[in-house]
Structure 1
């Protein structure tokens, strides 16, 4: 058996394993949620202005294609291992959330007049459910997919745009609420910290560190929206720190030299403080 065949066999095994786990977790959670009465839903006031865009079903369904191909785009066994563990972690953790805090989608989905576009919506109506909302696996998977796609130079921009469209489509196909997107993003970044890939990358020692900033940014954004929802406009004060935190994470992840002197100075001050 050649190394190429061995690699494909391992990738196919990882895909099969994650598919089976996904089906078990998702269907068990759906079965449990469907047995409950008066299942709650959570929405922000501004969500009523989110339009229903039938065409967005295309990128939404494309997430399934990305799920299948991402395993075959891994460059080595270690990358495949990390991807598999992250996918399993996200699915099992989300499954626990689906059962412990079940939510359902609450908006009425308009009829789709276009017969071709209506087909995937009919598929979702039969095989999907209004349950298993938060965290959104579409969002969590999109972030994990990007951890592999960003190393593909030729199709990088194309894949990035499509993943962004996947994220938007979760709202415009009336499949998820905003809280599902926020919790999905948080879950993905928790998986990056729990199962790191480049924690000791000599080319960029701050790569893993950046995920703390991204996670903090998503938590601040979520907290701001929740405070605004329950207490009033005071929550907006957290939006700017959330944006700044994510920007710092972006610069760290891309090996920017801008913040390195700042970190070095802070470390020096901490050491000096401890000596004194």
Structure 2
């Protein structure tokens, strides 16, 4: 395997921490929301009362947390790590949205446990968990996701068989420890299968970005369940619109014209636009001791979105090429030879998107005019296009 394809320990721990934090926020929140309801139902079927209670099954049940950690540490490549992280986040957020919308509880009384070790483990479980958050079973959904992540980590057929057998025990333990009903298990299996199907390890950069905005929208929806403020639903809808634009690769979704946005765009995307404006202000403060733009090559200046005072430092007859889709253009620069070519943030421009930008730079350069090429923060898009122009010019 290519060494560059192997994720570093920092990348593994970062993804583990993010998903652990996501679970740590969402799962207890939906427990709390269920406890607020006066009458919480269940999906028990009559025949389930005949199922045996097997205290020793708490052993595999409690190893789910261990697999949560090991899957991030042992997954073989970066594509697998990315897919694992997105699948776990998807399962967590979707399950918690269902928990919040349809609170359920386990209905059967758990018998007393006499053996010391299972009794101690059940005591630990009772301290951490509550009889809510039932359908879909996250234990079962996670088992499918962990299997997809870890089955390639072992070359031995025997090791894979042992892994599959233990994960099957974990899934079955949800029933025989009296933690979940059969329909909860079925729902967890469907959720896990959906995570594997909808989030393949295909390396498409735009999908992870769209996915991140979708997860944020899900968190906003959970906040609405918790607080009931309509502002959370507005934030959820706005973030879903951004996610849709990234998924469809719709770079001009904000309809920026002459460096500004129409009012209806502000009404739809105010959280997104304000978030980028705040980020831009933080970047300005963080890099206040550095120049806001640099000379990349003869006649080509590259940087971020500028303030009025910073823009005054540019050459007088400078053409402006704005790649930022998320920030309005500085007033003084809109009055110059201004061109807007929207590029989505956090992804490399493709050849079709780069071609007209490079043509505009070349046209101004042929006239002997200085060019200021910028994106929002000056970190990625402007530098990527400048590098493409440099390579084209060298050819």
> Normalising by structure 1, what TM-score?
0.69
Change (3 A) 1:100 1:124: same
Give the match's secondary structure for 1:29.
Answer: helix
Name the structure with the higher strand share. 2
1:111-150 superposed matches below 5 A: 111-150=112-151
Distance 2:197 2:203 in 1: 9
Distance 2:80 2:136 in 1: 25
Distance 1:5 1:166 in 2: 28
Counterpart of 1:187 in structure 2 is: 191
Counterpart of 2:162 in structure 1 is: 158
- CA distances 1:112-160 after superposition (whole Å, capped 9, x unpaired): 0012210110011111000000100000000000102221223211111
Distance 1:126 1:5 in 2: 38
- CA distances 1:222-243 after superposition (whole Å, capped 9, x unpaired): xxxxxxxxxxxxxxxxxxxxxx
User: Where do 5+ consecutive residues of structure 1 fail to align?
Assistant: 201-276
User: Where do 5+ consecutive residues of structure 2 fail to align?
Assistant: 205-395
| Number of matched pairs | 199
Give the match's secondary structure for 2:136.
Answer: coil
Change (3 A) 1:50 1:198: farther
Distance 2:25 2:96 in 1: 9
Distance 1:21 1:198 in 2: 24
Change (3 A) 1:40 1:87: same
Structure with the bigger RCO (C-alpha within 8 Å, sep 6+) is 1
Counterpart of 2:22 in structure 1 is: 21
Larger Rg: 2
Counterpart of 2:36 in structure 1 is: 35
Distance 1:17 1:92 in 2: 13
Equivalent residues of 2:79, 2:202 under 8 A apart:
no
Deviation at 1:3, TM superposition (A): 6.8
Distance 2:203 2:48 in 1: 38
Tell me, yes or no, if structure 1 residue 170 matches structure 2 residue 181: no
Distance 2:202 2:151 in 1: 14
- CA distances 1:226-275 after superposition (whole Å, capped 9, x unpaired): xxxxxxxxxxxxxxxxxxxxxxxxxxxxxxxxxxxxxxxxxxxxxxxxxx
Equivalent residues of 2:5, 2:77 under 8 A apart:
no
Deviation at 1:198, TM superposition (A): 6.0
Distance 1:199 1:4 in 2: 12
Counterpart of 2:84 in structure 1 is: 83
Distance 1:192 1:6 in 2: 20
Deviation at 1:10, TM superposition (A): 0.4
Counterpart of 1:72 in structure 2 is: 73
C-alpha RMSD of the superposition: 2.0
